Structure 1
Amino acid sequence: MARRLNVAVCQTGPIARAESRADVVARLIALLETAAAGGAELAVFPEMALTTFFPRWDLTDPDEIRAFYEREMPGPDTAPLFAAARRLKVGFALGYCESVVEDGRERRFNTMVLAGRDGAVIGRYRKMHVPGSEAPEEGVTVHLERRYFEPGNLGFPVFSFEGVRIGMAICNDRRWPETYRMLCLNGAEMVLIGYNTPLLLTETPRLAHLRMFHNHLPMQAGAYQNTVWIAAAAKAGVEEGQALIGGSCIIAPSGEIVALANSLGDEVIVHRADLAMNEDCAKAGFDFARYRRPDEYALIAQAAGPRRPATAG
């Protein structure tokens, strides 16, 4: 019997700093309803889908910072979204800012939660590749994620959703090949990604015309090299003065973009993912059991000698 999953990408437009959780959740529910009307069984929302992208600011007021984080999921503000999932019978992955007490102290993570079609939490992922810095740097786009979040401590978990193996990743994770490799070694058949990505970087103006190309390139490569489906949701548009790229998409294991958002606002795209493509694409070029030679890689690396330092010019 053919295995297929109707997946939706729910892109959002900008979220204002003053926008309430209730208003944002109402927008997400409207997107989920659109996804359900399009036949979706699973939807993915962007990174930090409940708030503006606050790491663009050098904030110092603890109460102001604390207001951006969720201490439970679902909580009073987000419960309506989980209720909508139950009503619509559409699962979802939601990016949010998590505050949790672990090891006797408060810890903060950039997190994505996976909920089933019954609205129950299946699992969560915490962003591993946290970019930026802890303090503003001259000539560099303000991006202080490392001040507000620590790297994830859950590894690359994979969860069962209606019998489909689902992995998750967040923003900068999508640029690193090990993200896809680890998820797929753990059995992922589909990877859900959320991101907030500036259109321009002060430090690299000559690369400005490549921002969308560099957005899609690693995801298409990750899909192709690991024979996995990818569904990626952006927060897009001009948010609090900073332009964010869109380009939300669904990518087949062949590396082909099969669905692509056209706007910089709230938008839903849906695709019926044929999970047999994973195996077909593996047969076509990436039969790991037959062709990978992990026992030889270390010997090759030793013979080649050490790489130059990452900071070398």
Structure 2
Amino acid sequence: MSRIVKAASAQMGPIPKSQSRKQAVSRLVAMMREAKGRGAELVVFPELAFTTFFPRWMIEDEAELESYYETEMPGPETAPLFEESKKLGVGFYVSYAELVNEGGRRRRFNTSIIVDRNGEIVGKYRKVHLPGHSEPQPGRVHQHLEKRYFEPGNLGFGVWRAFGGVMGMCICNDRRWPETYRVMGLQGVEMIMLGYNTPFDHTGHADIDGLTSFHNHLSMQAGAYQNSTWVIGTAKCGKEEGSSMVGQSVIVAPSGEIVAMAATLEDEVITANCDLDIGKRYRQTIFDFARHREPEAYRLIVERKGAIAPPEN
């Protein structure tokens, strides 16, 4: 018997700096309603979905900087999304900037959550692989200061039982790192949700940046195939405050095939019937970790480290 999750990727066009949280949330609610109209039970929203992508600027005023962070979830301005989730019986994933007091100090994370069909949070993840810089780089029109405004996540790559399967999360740059998928894959993940805000000039090297769209899909398709999991990648895209960001939101099957893709750089909902048992077949054949993966080989490599000198930077 197939286990079908009707899932939606709810891509967002640009969020201007002048747009309020209330306005951004109303866009998310509208897309959730559209997804429900298509029969979806789960919606994946982008990274930092409530505000413009503020790490593109050097922000020295502390009050201005903190205005981009959430201190509670849901809060007064984000609560309508949770209320609509419960009303419609549609769960969701969303990412936001989180400001918390932990360990006796104020900490900032790039965070995502999974919310079930009752509007209740069932899982939280904090972005591990932070790209960019901690200090402004000379000659750049748009900065990429995630390392300044966030610290690496401290929750690891967990999985949660929800929507009839094993669900996982990651955020943006995490998708480029194979260990992101493998850690969840070793826990039997069946669907990974991820949001991203990826500019076309993120490295500052034209030969690499020119392949942004290719690398975007390459990483998600490889992660899905090599770990026998569905991957739902959702962009915030288009020209936001002068910065061009990649779209191409996708739903990727455990085969590595793209089964749905956004066609615009605006608010757009795409859906697919995701059969979780497709991943099960791949885990029982090609990627049967228990039969075919050889962790002992990795141990030997670690023990022999230094036998081959690493390249100089």
Deviation string, structure 1 residues 225-283 (Cα, Å, up to 9, x no partner): 00010001000000000000001000000000111000000000000001111122224
Q: Residue 94 of structure 1 aligns with which residue?
A: 94
- Give 1:138's aligned amino acid: P
Q: Residue 204 of structure 1 aligns with which residue?
A: 205
Cα distance between partner residues in 2 of 1:304 and 1:249: 38
Q: Residue 81 of structure 1 aligns with which residue?
A: 81
- Give 2:11's aligned amino acid: Q
Q: Residue 9 of structure 2 aligns with which residue?
A: 9
Counterparts in 2 of 1:262 and 1:306: CA distance versus 1, 3 Å: farther
Q: Does 1:22 align with 2:12?
A: no
User: How far does residue 293 in structure 1 lie from its aligned partner after superposition?
Assistant: 1.1
Cα distance between partner residues in 2 of 1:303 and 1:309: 13
Report the secondary structure of 2:207's partner residue.
helix
Report the secondary structure of 1:215's partner residue.
helix
Normalized against structure 2, the TM-score is what? 0.96
RMSD: 1.5
Report the secondary structure of 1:298's partner residue.
helix
Contact preservation (8 Å) 1:7, 1:272:
yes
- Give 1:137's aligned amino acid: Q
Percent sequence identity over aligned pairs: 52
Counterparts in 2 of 1:90 and 1:305: CA distance versus 1, 3 Å: same
Q: Residue 49 of structure 1 aligns with which residue?
A: 49
User: How far does residue 300 in structure 1 lie from its aligned partner after superposition?
Assistant: 4.3
User: How far does residue 303 in structure 1 lie from its aligned partner after superposition?
Assistant: 5.0
Q: Residue 243 of structure 1 aligns with which residue?
A: 244
Cα distance between partner residues in 2 of 1:203 and 1:43: 33
Q: Residue 287 of structure 2 aligns with which residue?
A: 286
Contact preservation (8 Å) 2:44, 2:94:
yes
Counterpart mapping for 1:188-199 below 5 A: 188-199=189-200
Cα distance between partner residues in 2 of 1:306 and 1:193: 37
Contact preservation (8 Å) 1:114, 1:121:
yes
User: How far does residue 207 in structure 1 lie from its aligned partner after superposition?
Assistant: 2.6
Q: More displaced, 160-169 or 219-228? A: 160-169
- Give 1:261's aligned amino acid: A
Contact preservation (8 Å) 1:139, 1:202:
no
Unaligned residue ranges in structure 2 (runs of 5+): none
Q: Does 1:142 align with 2:143?
A: yes
Normalized against structure 1, the TM-score is what? 0.96
Report the secondary structure of 1:285's partner residue.
coil
Q: Residue 36 of structure 1 aligns with which residue?
A: 36
Q: Residue 217 of structure 1 aligns with which residue?
A: 218
Cα distance between partner residues in 2 of 1:268 and 1:199: 22
State the aligned residue count.
312
User: How far does residue 188 in structure 1 lie from its aligned partner after superposition?
Assistant: 1.3
User: How far does residue 296 in structure 1 lie from its aligned partner after superposition?
Assistant: 2.5
Contact preservation (8 Å) 2:196, 2:236:
yes
Cα distance between partner residues in 2 of 1:303 and 1:185: 24
Report the secondary structure of 2:299's partner residue.
helix
Cα distance between partner residues in 2 of 1:127 and 1:169: 7
Contact preservation (8 Å) 2:8, 2:40:
yes
